[in-house]
Structure 1
Amino acid sequence: MSPLDAFWHIANLFAPAWGLAALLAAAIKLAWWREAKPLRWLRLWGWGSAGGAVAVIVSLVLLGRDGRMAGYVLLVLGVALPQWYLFSVKR
């Protein structure tokens, strides 16, 4: 595997976490625009994508492979919990 192939392989592993974090951050900014005004979109996305990336790694360690439903549950929790914390507790 070439270095470019390895890069794309890793990027595609974390793409669902990054995409879900972006969608949830946008939904927070659109649905609760007054309450979420002090929070920057990039901060919401960054913490959500970091939590999702950790969840992907934990699911790989615990479940042995990617693509299981329990892994996707961990992914959703990993993305949602940091954004919930930023939005509701850190306001």
Structure 2
Amino acid sequence: MSPLDAFWHIANLFAPAWGLAALLGLAIKLAWWREAKALRWLRLWGWGAAGGALAVIVSLVLLGRDGRMAGYALLLLGVALPQWYLLSFRR
């Protein structure tokens, strides 16, 4: 595997976490615009992406491979919990 192939392999592993974090951050800014006025979109995305990436790594270690439903549930929690914390407690 070439270094470029390895880069794309890793990027595609984390792409669902980053994409879900972006969509959820956008939904938060649109649906809860009064509560999220003080939060920057990039901050919401960054914390959600970090939580999702950590969830992908944990699910890979615990489940042995990517693509299991339990891994996707952990991914959803990993993205949603940091964004919920930022919206609820860190204004």
What TM-score, normalized by structure 1, do the two folds share?
Answer: 0.99
SS of the counterpart of 1:65?
coil
* 1:56 matched residue in structure 2: 56
Q: What is the RMSD computed on CA atoms of the aligned residues?
A: 0.4
* 1:75 matched residue in structure 2: 75
What TM-score, normalized by structure 2, do the two folds share?
Answer: 0.99
Q: How many residues align?
A: 91
Mapping 1:18-57, distance limit 5 Å: 18-57=18-57
Is there any run of 5+ residues in structure 1 with no aligned partner, and where?
A: none
Q: CA deviation at 1:35?
A: 1.1
Q: Give 4+ residue runs of structure 1 displaced > 2 Å after superposition.
A: none
Is there any run of 5+ residues in structure 2 with no aligned partner, and where?
A: none
* 2:10 matched residue in structure 1: 10
The amino acid of 1:72's aligned partner reads Y
Quick one: percent identity of the two aligned structures? 89
Q: CA deviation at 1:25?
A: 0.1
SS of the counterpart of 1:72?
helix
Distance of 1:50 and 1:32 partners within structure 2: 22
Distance of 1:2 and 1:77 partners within structure 2: 33
Distance of 1:81 and 1:33 partners within structure 2: 18
Distance of 1:8 and 1:64 partners within structure 2: 20
